[in-house]
Structure 1
Amino acid sequence: MKKILIVDDEINIGLLLSRFLSKHNFQVNTATSGSSAMEILSKEDYNLVLCDFRLQDTDGRELLKKIKVRHPQTGVIIITGYSDIKLAVELIKLGAYDYITKPLYPDEILNTINKALETQKAFSKDYSADNSSPVIKKGGQIMPEEFIIGQSATSMELMRHIKLIAPTNYSVILTGESGTGKESIAKAIHLNSGRKDKPFIAMDCGSLTKELAGSEFFGHEKGAFTGALFAKPGHFEMANGGTLFLDEIGNLSYETQAALLRTVQERKVKRIGGLKEIELDVRIIVATNENLHVAIQNNRFREDLYHRFNEFSIHLPPLRNRGNDILIFADAFLKSTNAELSKNVAGFSEDVQKCFLSYNWPGNVRELKNVIRRAVLLTEGNIVQIKSLPLEIANYSNTFAAEKAYALKPLSEENSHNLKDATIQAEYATIIQVLREVNFNKTKAAQLLNIDRKTLYNKMKSINLSKK
């Protein structure tokens, strides 16, 4: 049953629409404000939002923008009391499916809703493969269930690359820091290829020893070596017809790389201890968090193998460089964690959101997910507060508050070659660096600088570092 959320501050209109749509086999909920609508959407997915343009706390334009950022798969139809072609064009450009003017006619509403849902089929149809439940979320592309689509230019470019490369048989190198979601991108490429009904086999090369690598890649026959009690297919064989994803490819030994090169070139594999060559039809996607060009220069990675893999490359930027996508990811993890813990946390405080956008996220998306799961577990109300965040992240909030409380006045650049001025500049830079490192705790800063608090206060005053 399709789910529709009606947003209208006139209770009678919301009630009439709800009764009408319920009779036509829709599951309907209502909200009387933009804020309550966003809270409802944070807890449950809806196929469609039917929204009045004029609301007491916002308007349809602003609510549409929020819905498309937080819930891009949800369709939106705007209802208004007057016809304005320019406004209609603007709303559709912002992502609305359509625009209906009052008075409302039941047949027109039902027809518009059905058309919106028909169009949405290309974006929301369920798809099952390999015991997972990926869904089509954008532009007709099938995505892994854990895949989150951002709204930044970087995310749009990433989606474009997936759409471009997926239908081909090109080998792909995925680069980026650990935790940026390389395996999820590999799955997305596989699911949008002609191999989507065949196996997707993931292999962590970082955990392979030189002794085990041959058996894991190529398989072995019974008795091929001590401990080989049974015949075992390798990952190439298991992925035949589908996609083999090799994570942390830069960690393979040079000898293993040589054996891998032969298999990739000839598209044949022979089990250890076996005589039969097995023909391979495997697409290879590899991932690394290190610079393979440097590894090649240092003779740690074979250049010929690199060029075999590098028919196409995609770089995944770190989370700290993805702007407001961080909040989209946070909302998605909040929703999944609510389901996991049977909780109803509605969102994040403004301080938490600012903290998320400012923190450098060394563990990237993986770290963000773990932080959200911990924070939701600790949250007693319906909003995640700073106190529920890990200390190293919460301290960022304290640091930024402290920095705002100070006016950092630049020193004069006159007589820049004067030794005394140069000494003052160096002292200024050192004090500021230490203060930031200890979150503006002046006692700790004085200890690190090996001076007492009074001396630190005097020096701060002398270099124009004063409270606002």
Structure 2
Amino acid sequence: MKHILVIDDDPVFRLMLETFLTKNNFLVTSVGTSSDALRTIKKTLFSLCLVDLRLPDINGLELLKEIKNLTPDLPLILMTSFVDVRTAVKAIKSGAYEYITKPVNTDELIIAIQSALKSDNKVSKETPSTEDTSFYHYGRSKSSLETLKAIELVAPTNLSVLINGESGTGKEFAARLIHARSKRNNKPFVAIDCGVLSAELGPSELFGHVKGAFTGAGFDKAGHFELADGGSIFLDEIGNLPMEVQVMLLRVIQERQIRRVGAGKSQEIDVRIIAATNDNLKDSVAKGLFREDLYHRLNEFSVSVPSLRERKEDIEGFILKFMKDANKELGKSIEGFSEEAMDIMVKYSWPGNLRELKNVVKKTVLMTDSTGQSVVSPEIIPYELRVSPGISSENTFGGYDLKAASLKQEREYILSVLEKVKYNKSSAARILNIDRKTLYNKLKLFNIEI
């Protein structure tokens, strides 16, 4: 369960949030002061914080900075009873994931929380540091260098960019790198997961709303485009954007103006759009699922981020990078991978790409340390990797067993279907003749991350 820390000095409101979040399968801890919050964060690992703007000791913005110093990657959502766009913008620039206004709309709250947790603090508005951007330079294969060259070419311009690539390949990192190398690098970078935007709430999330615009809109709110003014907005998984919202987005791009839902007039906006997709948008256009005019507006320049299967020679470098990061994060001192263990890692197909690789490396670092070893050995590597195509189960396990062979065959078939549909889970489930929930269970069983 994801553990959420609620920081608010109103005990009745804290109790209401605790009850609501607990019913939605979150583990909740709540405190009433900034000092209690800081003490709690030092003792407990949280997935997300909900922070009230006005607290009895120090205000929420100051607390936000203190929390970011302690745990830079912890997503924070600011709560305020005061409709103040300038405060919201200041919070975003200070590292807040999002802000919401009291009285809290529960649907809006859940969307913000799910988006923050899903993206692993995906919406950090800060420009990447030099250390962050150097991450991409670990890829030295021809395809990696071609991607980097394309990024360097388009970054200084104001062209809209469409980033193509499978899930987990680092599309958002490419977007952040484009922003970091642009003339807008001292302005906000705002990232949005279009997969969580519904036709009903999407316009409000993107463009904002005024009080009374719809049921539950008890306050004025700035949208993400407004918060990104002067900088860049990253629309991840743009292919999932509802058709109704596509129409509104096209109008914004054409007119360079936004209008909050329910507002009587528009306002000028200066935002560079960087979009990303793991779908074939041309196919979506042909099927009538994505507007052709919007596609061409977004695709003024395209960048392709290769999968790990297309750059096998980069895998070892990424493994060592992630091992170093895991050592630092977990307080471990693993020195490397044995030759046989590294061979298993390099030969694996990595359907979840860099995201899957990073998670596996972190697990192996943790498990290796628990054994007292300083080098990752083959038996530490997850079972699913050791029975993947190209890796000999006989050599790894000292013989075959029927269950392992059956699981291996099922895993390979699921992977082959996923590859054919470009890792679109809905399409894969239809071909496999199973529902999405069953597919998710299979993905979890076989440690397939997409």
Q: Same fold (TM over 0.5)?
A: yes
Which residue does the alignment assign to 1:352?
Answer: 341
Cα deviation code 1:341-392 (max 9, x no counterpart): 1111010111121111211111110000000111000003111112212110
Change (3 A) 1:274 1:345: same
Return the alpha-carbon distance in structure 1 between the equivalents of residues 301 and 254 of structure 2: 17
**Which whole-Å CA distance do the structure 1 matches of 2:201 and 2:407 have between them?**
50
Unaligned runs of 5+ in 1: 1-128, 137-142, 406-432, 440-468
* In 1: Cα distance, 2:407 partner to 2:161 partner: 45
Deviation at 1:435, TM superposition (A): 11
Are 1:384 and 2:376 an aligned pair? yes
Which residue does 1:166 correspond to in 2? Answer: 155
The residue type equivalent to 1:338 in the other structure is N
Q: Deviations over 1:240-276 (max 9, x none)?
A: 1000100010011111111111111111001011123
Structure 1 residues 148, 372: CA separation in 2 closer, same or farther (over 3 Å shift)? farther
Output the CA distance in 2 between the equivalents of 1:196 and 1:435: 48
Residue aligned with 1:178, SS: coil
Cα gap change, 1:299/1:263 in structure 2, threshold over 3 Å: closer, same or farther? same
**Equivalence map 1:129-278=2 (5 Å):** 130-131=125-126, 134-135=129-130, 144=133, 147-278=136-267
User: Is this contact kept in 2: 1:148–1:332, CA < 8 A?
Assistant: no
The alpha-carbon distance between structure 1 residues 325 and 222, as it changes in their structure 2 partners (threshold 3 A), is same
C-alpha distance in 2 between matches for 1:148 and 1:374:
24
- The SS at the match of 2:275 is strand
Give 1:148 shift. 5.0
Which residue identity lines up with residue 210 of structure 2 in the other structure? E
Gaps of 5+ in 2: 1-123, 398-404, 412-450
Farther-moved stretch of structure 1 (181-190 vs 232-241) = 232-241
Q: 2:393 & 2:218 partners in 1: Cα distance?
A: 63
**1:386/1:272 CA distance change after superposition, 3 Å:** same
Matched-pair contact (CA < 8 Å) for 1:355–1:397? no
Contact 1:133 1:145 in 2 (8 A): no
The match for 2:295 is 306
Secondary structure of 2:162's counterpart equals strand
Tell me the secondary structure at the aligned position of residue 201 of structure 2: helix
- Distance 1:438-1:246 versus aligned 2 partners, 3 A rule: closer
- For the 8 Å contact 2:168–2:355, the answer to whether it is kept is yes
Work out whether residues 351 and 397 of structure 1, in 8 Å CA contact, stay in contact via their aligned partners in 2: no
**Cα distance, 1:398–1:276 mapped onto 2, change above 3 Å:** closer
* Percent sequence identity over aligned pairs: 48
Output one character per residue of 1:180-210: Cα deviation in whole Å (capped at 9) or x when no partner: 0100000000000000000000000011111
The TM-score with structure 2 as length reference comes to 0.58
Query: What displacement does 1:144 show?
Result: 3.4
**Contact 2:236–2:275 at 8 Å: present in 1 too?**
yes
Question: 2:280: which partner in 1?
Answer: 291
Aligned partners of 2:407, 2:357: CA distance in 1, in Å?
27
State the 1:438 CA deviation.
8.5
1:328: Cα distance to partner?
0.7
Using the alignment, how far apart are the partners of 2:258 and 2:408 within structure 1? 56
Equivalent of residue 357 in structure 2, options 351, 365, 368: 368
Quick one: structure 1 residues 182 and 133, their matched pair in 2 at CA, closer, same or farther if it must change by over 3 Å? closer
In the aligned structure 2, how far is the partner of 1:391 from the partner of 1:436? 10
For 2:324 and 2:258, locate their aligned partners in 1 and report how far apart those are by CA, in whole Å: 44
Q: Secondary structure at the match of 2:302?
A: strand
The alignment's TM-score, normalised by the length of structure 1, stands at 0.56
Q: Is the 8 A contact 2:347 2:390 kept in 1?
A: no
Secondary structure (helix, strand or coil) at the match of 2:295 reads helix
Instruction: Give CA-to-partner distance per residue, 1:25-75, whole Å, 9 cap, x none.
Output: xxxxxxxxxxxxxxxxxxxxxxxxxxxxxxxxxxxxxxxxxxxxxxxxxxx
1:437 equivalenced with 2:409 (yes/no): yes
Partner of 2:387, secondary structure, is: helix
Q: How far did residue 130 of structure 1 move?
A: 5.0
| CA RMSD between the two structures | 2.5
C-alpha distance in structure 2 between counterparts of 1:310 and 1:281, whole Å: 18
Larger Rg: 1
For residues 146 and 233 of structure 1, do their structure 2 counterparts lie closer, same or farther at Cα, with a shift above 3 Å needed? farther
Cα offset for 1:218? Answer: 0.9
- Which residue is equivalent to 1:279? 268
CA distance in 2, matches of 1:436, 1:219: 49
**2:305 maps to which residue?**
316
Code of the aligned partner of 1:388: I
> Relative to 1, partners in 2 of residues 1:398 and 1:144: Cα closer, same or farther, differing over 3 Å?
closer
The alpha-carbon distance between structure 1 residues 132 and 266, as it changes in their structure 2 partners (threshold 3 A), is closer
**Per-residue Cα deviation, 1:281-332 (whole angstroms, up to 9, x for no partner):** 1100000000011101100000000000111001111112211211111111
1:84-140, CA deviations, whole angstroms, 9 ceiling, x for partnerless residues?
xxxxxxxxxxxxxxxxxxxxxxxxxxxxxxxxxxxxxxxxxxxxx95465116xxxx
Q: Kindly tell me: are residues 378 and 160 of structure 1, through their superposed partners in 2, closer, same or farther at Cα, counting changes over 3 Å?
A: same
Residue 325 of structure 1 is matched in structure 2 by 314
User: More displaced, 354-363 or 282-291?
Assistant: 354-363
2:392 counterpart residue number? 400
Question: For the Cα contact (< 8 Å) 2:128–2:180, is it kept in 1?
Answer: no
Aligned AA (1:134): S
Q: Is the 8 A contact 2:387 2:408 kept in 1?
A: no
Aligned-partner SS, 2:273:
strand
What secondary structure is seen at the aligned counterpart in 1 of 2:219?
coil
CA contact (8 A) 1:347 1:382 kept: yes
Q: What SS class does the counterpart of residue 144 from structure 1 fall into?
A: helix
Q: Distance in 2 between matches of 1:133 and 1:307?
A: 28
